[in-house]
Amino acid sequence: MRIKLGLLGLGCAAAMSFLTGCATTSAPIGGLGAGATTAEHQVAGGPVVDLPSVRVGEARVLDARVNPLVPLRLALKNGAIAVSFGRLGHGASEQIDPDSLEPRPIQADEPLPGADRASTSVQRITLDHGRFLVCWTSGSLEWGHRAMAQMFNSSDGSPRGGPVVISPSNTDVVGRPRAITYDGNRVVAMFAAMSGSSFELLAVPLEDPATTDGAERSARASGGEADRVLGAP
């Protein structure tokens, strides 16, 4: 299996240098706030550890016959996330529901006007409330590649927590992840990865843990207040 991945990676490096690049980084660099330090948390009786800056949902396989050398293109269209990708010998496109990641029916040759073209190895997604998310690929030919994400504050480029692996542990990511936000808070990241003997297109929902934790606390507080009102004499 490792021999297969090694040969694949060498081929990817050669081909992608002309097409989209198979560049990877071990951490987001450049334009992310010089001198910014990683957010840390002191665990009682233990070492200082990074808090995750991104909450990762369950990955969904959108297609199992993709050409990983063709860059992904994403766009918002008719309330859905439209993705254009390659299969062996031809291109393909899909539209998925941004909440459930369920596919929606579209015409096979439907264009994606205004779609995002992959141009950099690290993608930055601007979010509401002074935040932005970056996605990139990290790893090596020997140990495989993973899709990564990290949340930052727009004001000074400081991280809101540590970087997080967003690709499943049983996959080897090929090329660059692409991401898009559909409401300024939630993000869907997509990437091609090798799983077993096939190349898959995967979609993963991402959220800011601070935002979702705050919403859950507010919901619990509202529910408790309602219980108190209903239980009042």
DSSP annotation string for 45-58: TS-EEEPBS-EE--
d(CA 135, CA 179): 7
Every domain of the chain and the residues it spans:
2-24+51-225
The pLDDT assigned to 24 comes to 44
8-state DSSP, 65: S
Reported pTM? 0.68
Reading phi first (left if > 0) and then psi (alpha if -120 to 50, else beta), residue 130 is in: left
Mean pLDDT for all residues in the chain? 75
The pLDDT assigned to 210 comes to 84
> To the nearest whole percent, how much of the chain has pLDDT over 70?
62
- Which of 105-119, 165-179, 199-213 is most confident? 165-179
Amino acid at 65: R
Contacts of 156 (CB under 8 A, 6+ apart): 33, 36
More confident site: 17 or 94 = 94
pLDDT tens column, 206-219: 999 887 555 444 44
